[in-house]
């Protein structure tokens, strides 16, 4: 019987729960002996010309060096990842030269013996600011009344219509034949990734070889950046090592200026370097996510057919055009969600503001598409006098139509959207919930019940057409296995999942399979973990490499058994090779390994992306006197294709749901009009905890994809995609009798109370 599909406890947990994790800041390594500490001096203004005086700081105790941009005779620019933005917006200074563009931008660097000495010296650096006009609102930035880059002359970083990623917008005749037309604006607030392990890096030189440790999601990508920046000096190569990682959520895909300067400092000072940021630094300077404003128009017939949809996307790139500026590449292909809408128009613009540059954040463009289309369907349905659930059913892409091409040309692989809705509503006992709601409304109490429903689809291992990931499997002389993956587990349980996949093919106990990741000298190829890509791509590579080893082993076993290779089988239960029908004479994996110099196989195959989906039902209680919202129940039905390990899938769903609920109710990065961050710690930023969450009710659903040999889809981000619109709709559902039809997330008590006050006045 196959191990796949069984609830197998995580192999990772024994180490984490006993000796604990080893994070970058915990490292003890011979190359890091006598390491100095790096501290960055950060701008306290959002936009200004600067001059920096370090004369007092260099005299402080323990200080080895204080440097500004003019002192850098090595790397001074962090190249942009997507070279289609205007150059000054794209290539980010490692240290600001004559102008700062967001609060938290690095203006100087201090090297000291201890972190405390570095902090003291940073306070002694004097920065003279000549203020410049500030723009922090993306819609204001689009007007170009305040321009962040005078040499560019506009805040517009990119128009996606101009590069063929958006269809473009016609005039209002587009909706001329629609009986019901609804328009609206949906804001998607900035959210901080807020990993519990903040950014941390160490660098050392081993002769002319650069060794670099970092908390990151993709060591090969970091190696590529460092290889470019240090091509002339790292003639012995670059080795990137990623120890345990305490959360990434997309913000740790990138290498940051603070990271890539360390090797140069190590060369300059002649000592290894360590850098570990504070929580405030993390909130100030680590790339946040979301930061979209969408305007939509949805049209259809009076009987409930949705026929026309227009989506206009505006993205806040922050002060430099990093990955976040390009994330409409995920939003636009998912414009129509789960619905069969034939006529679609889209546009997308990214603009520069005086705020922290945005990066990816769990879901990265797909939650934004889902939240908007689900809000649009809800608002359109009520305007048409129809039940939103009925409208959903009527317009779902049919289960028998897959693979299906959507109104924006995206090809979905497999889906049963109505079934996911039915299963979620059944688990919630939807009729009973509506009865409870009706009773509360009749009683007229302050605490009203709201029920929200959202059906979503997302793309994983994308964007289209897909991608690849490196995998290698080898058999050791002892007859055990060792697997190597370019995917980087930072909480996703790759050791367990990939061991199960290999064990299923090899017939070797998964506890006899070693998992290797995160060292570019050992795993020489790879991409990393983001976009819910790991099992579909990395797992499929392990699956294919394992199968190839079995075929090679059968051939070797045939020689050892003096049999025809076609007659040799692998008894996976026993881990033995024998002639079919003659198990008494067999050969072990150790026997096979002894008969060859190298028993290993690699795989890196391009595979298509996949489209998981689901339905979330949220039940909330809204206190109409205080604006407080309590989440009472969260019922989710999430498809992830074939399930390798239900226990791990449920863990990923739990994490995603929690972050999606947090976006709906609490989390928001806030700046004042001068660009000062108002949410610089967990006292001010609404970081969710278990105390604010009910036990989640998870409904299973599997619709295998034909796009990879395992039939699996991604699951790491799904929970964050369906939960936010479900909770938002639930809160609005509770308030609709009071005349409230929309409130943007996060639905804080202040926002809800203010909306209630306005409704009572009107």
Q: Tell me the two tokens of residue 199.
A: 């950014």
Looking at residue 195, its pLDDT comes to 97
CA 480 to chain centre: 34
| Cα gap 385→394, rounded to integer Å | 15
**What letter would DSSP give residue 696?**
P
Same domain, 65 and 203: yes
Query: % helix / strand / coil in the chain, to the nearest 5?
Result: 30, 25, 40
Q: Of 605, 631, 656, which one is at a domain's C-terminal end? A: 605
Q: Of 580, 605, 630, which one is at a domain's C-terminal end? A: 605
Q: Is residue 106 part of a domain?
A: yes
Looking at residue 83, its pLDDT comes to 77
| Cα distances (Å, whole numbers) of residue 496 to 11, 248, 324 | 5, 19, 31
338: number of Cβ within 10 Å? 28
Query: Bridge partners of 180?
Result: 300
Same domain, 534 and 444: no
pTM of the model: 0.97
Q: Is residue 83 part of a domain?
A: yes
Same domain, 29 and 115: yes
The angle at the Cα of 286, spanning 281 to 288, to the nearest 5 degrees, equals 125
| Cα gap 82→357, rounded to integer Å | 14
| Cα gap 316→325, rounded to integer Å | 7
Q: Of 605, 631, 662, which one is at a domain's C-terminal end? A: 605
Q: Is residue 26 part of a domain?
A: yes
Task: Return all residues near 729 (Cβ < 8 A) that are at least 6 apart.
Answer: 374, 375, 378, 450, 452, 453, 454, 618
Q: Is residue 173 part of a domain?
A: no
Which of 525, 504, 505, 503 is CA-nearest to residue 514? 503
Q: Are strands 273-276 and 36-42 parallel, antiparallel or unpaired?
A: parallel
Looking at residue 762, its pLDDT comes to 78
Query: Can you spell out the DSSP letters for 317-371?
Result: EETS--GGGGTHHHHGGGTTTTB---EEEEEEEEEE-SSPPP---TTTTHHHHHH
In this structure, are residues 109 and 261 in contact, taking their beta carbons and an 8 Å threshold?
yes
Same domain, 234 and 99: yes
Looking at residue 660, its pLDDT comes to 98
Kindly provide the residue ranges of all beta strands, DSSP E only, lying in 84-160, ordered along the sequence: 92-93, 99-100, 106-112, 126-131, 156-159
Q: Is residue 561 part of a domain?
A: yes
In this structure, are residues 200 and 214 in contact, taking their beta carbons and an 8 Å threshold?
yes
Q: Is residue 118 part of a domain?
A: yes
In this structure, are residues 542 and 497 in contact, taking their beta carbons and an 8 Å threshold?
no
Same domain, 235 and 128: yes
Give how many domains the chain has, as a whole number.
3
Task: Assign residue 62 the CATH number of its domain.
Answer: 3.90.1170.50
Q: Are strands 513-516 and 568-571 parallel, antiparallel or unpaired?
A: unpaired
Same domain, 475 and 590: yes
Which of 192, 137, 186, 187 is CA-nearest to residue 662? 192
Q: How far apart are the first and last CA of the chain?
A: 66
Task: Return all residues near 674 (Cβ < 8 A) that are at least 6 apart.
Answer: 45, 46, 134
Same domain, 664 and 635: yes
Q: Is residue 140 part of a domain?
A: no
CA 189 to chain centre: 16
Q: Is residue 353 part of a domain?
A: no
Looking at residue 172, its pLDDT comes to 86
Intervals of the chain under pLDDT 70: none
In this structure, are residues 191 and 667 in contact, taking their beta carbons and an 8 Å threshold?
yes
| Cα gap 49→129, rounded to integer Å | 6
| Cα gap 200→222, rounded to integer Å | 13
Looking at residue 81, its pLDDT comes to 76
Same domain, 104 and 21: yes
Task: Return all residues near 64 (Cβ < 8 A) that are at least 6 apart.
Answer: 36, 111, 112, 113, 269, 271
335: number of Cβ within 10 Å? 28
Looking at residue 115, its pLDDT comes to 97
Residues counted in the chain = 762
Task: Return all residues near 246 (Cβ < 8 A) that are at least 6 apart.
Answer: 21, 23, 195, 196, 197, 215, 490
Same domain, 743 and 633: yes
Q: Show the domain range for 226.
A: 17-132+197-246+252-285
Same domain, 641 and 704: yes
Phi and psi, residue 285, nearest 5°: -125, -15
Task: Assign residue 755 the CATH number of its domain.
Answer: 3.30.365.10
Same domain, 721 and 577: no
Same domain, 714 and 580: no
């Amino acid at each position: 019987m196959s191990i796949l599909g069984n609830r197998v406890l995580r192999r990772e947990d024994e180490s984490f729960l006993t000796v604990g994790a080893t994070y970058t800041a915990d490292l003890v390594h011979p190359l890091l002996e006598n390491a100095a500490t790096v501290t960055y001096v950060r701008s306290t203004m959002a936009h200004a010309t600067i001059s920096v005086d370090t004369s007092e700081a260099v005299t402080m105790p323990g200080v080895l060096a204080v440097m500004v941009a003019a002192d850098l005779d090595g790397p001074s620019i962090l190249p942009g990842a997507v070279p289609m933005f205007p150059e000054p917006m794209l290539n980010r200074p490692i240290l600001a030269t004559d102008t700062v563009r967001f609060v938290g931008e690095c203006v100087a660097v201090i090297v000291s013996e201890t972190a405390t000495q570095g902090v003291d010296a940073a306070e002694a650096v004097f920065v003279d600011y000549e203020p410049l006009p500030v723009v922090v609102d993306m819609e204001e930035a689009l007007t170009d009344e305040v321009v962040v880059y005078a040499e560019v002359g506009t805040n517009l970083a990119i128009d996606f219509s101009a590069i063929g990623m958006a269809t473009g917008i016609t005039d209002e005749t587009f909706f001329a034949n629609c009986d019901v037309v609804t328009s609206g604006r949906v804001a998607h607030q900035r959210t901080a990734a807020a990993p519990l392990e903040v950014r941390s890096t160490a660098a050392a030189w081993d002769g002319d070889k650069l060794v670099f440790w970092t908390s990151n999601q993709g060591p090969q990508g970091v190696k590529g950046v460092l290889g470019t920046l240090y091509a002339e000096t790292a003639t012995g190569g670059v080795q990137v090592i990623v120890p345990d990682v305490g959360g990434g959520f997309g913000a740790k895909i990138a290498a940051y200026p603070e990271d890539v300067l360390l090797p140069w400092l190590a060369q300059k000072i002649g000592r290894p370097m360590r850098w570990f940021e504070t929580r405030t630094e993390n909130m100030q300077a680590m790339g946040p996510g979301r930061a979209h404003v969408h305007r939509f128009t949805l049209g259809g017939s009076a009987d409930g057919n949705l026929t026309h949809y227009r989506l206009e996307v505006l993205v806040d790139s922050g002060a430099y055009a990093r990955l976040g500026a390009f994330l409409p590449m995920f939003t636009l292909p998912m414009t129509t969600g789960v619905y069969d809408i034939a006529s679609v128009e889209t546009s997308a613009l990214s603009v520069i503001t005086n705020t922290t540059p945005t990066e990816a954040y769990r879901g990265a463009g797909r939650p934004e598409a889902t939240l908007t289309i689900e809000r649009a369907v809800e608002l359109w349905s009520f305007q048409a006098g129809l039940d939103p659930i009925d409208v959903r059913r009527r317009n779902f892409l049919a289960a028998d139509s897959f693979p299906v091409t959507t109104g924006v040309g995206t090809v979905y692989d497999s889906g049963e959207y109505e079934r996911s809705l039915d299963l979620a509503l059944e688990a919630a006992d939807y009729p009973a919930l509506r009865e409870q709601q009706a009773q509360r409304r009749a009683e007229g109490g302050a605490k009203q019940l709201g029920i929200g429903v959202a059906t979503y689809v997302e793309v994983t291992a994308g964007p289209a057409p897909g991608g690849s990931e490196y995998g290698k499997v080898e058999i050791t002389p002892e007859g055990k296995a060792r697997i190597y993956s370019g995917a980087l587990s930072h909480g996703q349980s790759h050791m367990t999942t990939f061991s199960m996949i290999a064990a299923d093919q090899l017939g070797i106990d998964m506890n006899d399979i070693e998992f290797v990741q995160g060292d570019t000298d050992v795993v020489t190829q790879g991409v990393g973990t983001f976009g819910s890509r790991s099992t579909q791509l990395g797992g499929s590579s392990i699956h294919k490499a394992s199968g190839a080893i079995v075929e090679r082993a059968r051939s070797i076993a045939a020689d050892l058994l003096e049999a025809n290779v076609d007659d040799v089988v692998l008894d996976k239960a026993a881990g033995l090779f024998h002639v079919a029908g003659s198990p008494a004479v067999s050969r072990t994996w150790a026997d096979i390994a002894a008969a060859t110099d190298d028993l290993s196989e690699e795989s890196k195959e391009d595979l298509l992306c996949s489209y998981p989906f689901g339905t979330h039902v949220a039940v909330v209680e809204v206190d109409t006197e205080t604006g407080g919202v309590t989440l009472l129940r969260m019922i989710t039905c999430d498809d992830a294709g074939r399930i390798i390990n239900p226990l791990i899938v449920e863990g990923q769903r739990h994490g995603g749901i929690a972050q999606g609920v947090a976006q709906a109710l609490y989390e928001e990065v806030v700046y004042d009009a001068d660009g000062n961050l108002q949410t610089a710690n967990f006292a001010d930023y609404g970081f969710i905890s278990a105390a604010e969450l009910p036990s989640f009710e998870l409904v299973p659903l599997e619709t295998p994809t034909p796009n990879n040999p395992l039939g699996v889809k991604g699951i790491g981000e799904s929970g964050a995609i369906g939960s936010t619109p479900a909770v938002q709709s639930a809160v609005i559902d509770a308030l609709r009798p009071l005349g409230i039809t929309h409130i943007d997330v996060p639905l804080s008590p202040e926002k809800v109370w203010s909306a209630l006050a306005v409704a009572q006045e009107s």
